[in-house]
Amino acid sequence: MKAPYDEIGGAEAVERLVNGFYDRIEEAYPLLRDMLPNNTTVTRRKLIEFLTGWLGGPQLYIEKYGHPRLRMRHFPFKVDTEAARQWLEAMYASLDDLELEERVDTFIRARFLQTAAHMRNVDDEVAVPSD
């Protein structure tokens, strides 16, 4: 089996995915937009580099910056259930733009879902009282 990076179309597809994602955030997700710098050029480039390796392509991010330490890098931000939901919504919509084969699309969505759950750093789930 080819790496997801190759199956989705390589560098061009990753760039489209990331640019679609950040364009959506800037237009429709103020909660997430407030976590970004005013100019997202560097942020976009870093996510392109990260996702390239994360999807099985060249390890561009790791070669430049070392281990990504995703949770640590996001600790300054409140990543609650709503932020994770909005992140997934924007990322899934950007995946839709790529019109991927169902098998690879499902695989990538599942990995993004795991990542969004892992990135939560606020315990905001409603506790159910026990009797």
Is 75 contained in some domain? yes
In our burial notation (b when 16+ CB lie closer than 10 A, e otherwise), range 3-21 reads: ebbebbeeeebbbbbbbbb
pLDDT tens digit sequence for 27-78:
999 999 999 999 999 999 999 999 999 999 999 999 999 998 988 888 788 9
Is 124 contained in some domain? no
The neighbour count for residue 120, using CB atoms within 10 Å, is 17
d(CA 19, CA 13): 10
CATH of residue 51's domain is 1.10.490.10
pLDDT tens digit sequence for 87-112:
999 999 999 999 999 999 999 999 99
Q: What is the count of structural domains for the chain?
A: 1
Is 36 contained in some domain? yes
Is 129 contained in some domain? no
Say whether pLDDT at 131 is over 70: no
pTM of the predicted model as reported, rounded to 2 decimal places: 0.89
Centroid of chain to Cα 17: 10
Supply the range of the domain harboring residue 113. Answer: 7-119
